Structure 1
Amino acid sequence: MTKVQTVLDSSIVELLKGESIVSLITINSETKKPELSVVSWVLATDDGKQIKIAVGHKGSSINNIEADSFVTLGITGPESCYAVKGQASVSDIFSGTMKYRVITVDVEEVEDVMFYGGKLTALPKYEKTYDPQLAKKLDDEVYELLKK
């Protein structure tokens, strides 16, 4: 049986201090079925009790969370895969280079969900396919917002 924790351990907090690919699972406000989004502007608090996620202000996950605040985050790494469950809230709109909203997840459960006998040996990588200067500007702006 897998041990369930109530906060993120320090290795997951460290992973979520840079750009990470995280799956955000919400309940669709209309169909009531699970809906998956992939996000990368993610930051965990040092105490492992919250995860903040920046999204565009019109993302479908916003409506979903406003209708049902329970979410699951799928985190890949370090060395395993984790399901993080909790209650989420959505901020007002922040205007910068683009309009954002911040989803704050209060961590309730952290479970290692890697299959038996498996261990990750590398983290997923991605690249941004738009203007590198704009990407840096957006990243700097968003991470300043998430640190607040």
Structure 2
Amino acid sequence: MANQVETKLGEELLPLLQEERYISLSTVDHETGGPNVNSISWVYAKDEKHVRFAVDNRSRIVENIKSNPHVAVLMFGAGSTYSITGNAKVVQEKMEDVPLKLALVEIHISEVRDVMFYGSRIINEPKFEKTYDKEAAEKLDKQVMEGMLK
């Protein structure tokens, strides 16, 4: 996909966003009008034009999106770095069947761009681990992913 601009997730990226993964989300700060960057992991590509994610419904992310829907997602995968931009909206203020107060947000994708610098590739994608109770984390992750599929 290098040097190409797509309007949807291709068959290489779609499955990568159908599992929990580390991504960076950029929003426009509702107070300063400047950039606001966060790392999140509860993300799911509903289809090639829509990506959903879950965040605490008290998060600055939610207020930023309500004020300005323009967002950018930065993800690593398929040997490269991708910028996915679009407009986001809060689909649910509080996800059902999830014990935490999480908002469900959906991005309508307008652009997918390979932004890796020339002559290079990603050889190790970022990995993370949950530092709280492993069983509780797995149960919560399952509930959140199921909630995003509804």
Query: How big is each residue's C-alpha offset from its partner over 1:82-118, in whole Å with a ceiling of 9 and x where there is no partner?
Result: 1101000012212522111011000000000000001
Partner of 1:60: 60
- Partners of 1:142 and 1:126 lie apart in 2 by 18
Partner of 1:6: 7
State the 1:45 CA deviation: 2.0
User: Is the counterpart of residue 106 in structure 1 residue 105 in structure 2?
Assistant: no
Q: Aligned to 1:45, what secondary structure does the other structure show?
A: strand
Q: TM-score, structure 1 length as denominator?
A: 0.95
User: Is the counterpart of residue 82 in structure 1 residue 70 in structure 2?
Assistant: no
Aligned pairs, number: 147
**1:51–1:107 CA contact under 8 A, matched in 2:** yes
User: Is the counterpart of residue 70 in structure 1 residue 61 in structure 2?
Assistant: no
- Partners of 2:67 and 2:93 lie apart in 1 by 16
Q: TM-score, structure 2 length as denominator?
A: 0.94
- Considering only aligned residues, what root-mean-square deviation do their CA atoms show, in Å? 1.2
After TM superposition, which residue ranges in structure 1, 4 or more long, deviate above 4 angstroms?
A: none
The percent of aligned pairs where both chains have the same amino acid is: 35
Q: Aligned to 1:110, what secondary structure does the other structure show?
A: strand
Which ranges in structure 1 are unaligned for 5 or more consecutive residues? Answer: none
User: Is the counterpart of residue 118 in structure 1 residue 114 in structure 2?
Assistant: no
| Deviates further, 92-101 or 8-17 | 92-101
- Partners of 1:118 and 1:78 lie apart in 2 by 12
State the 1:16 CA deviation: 1.0
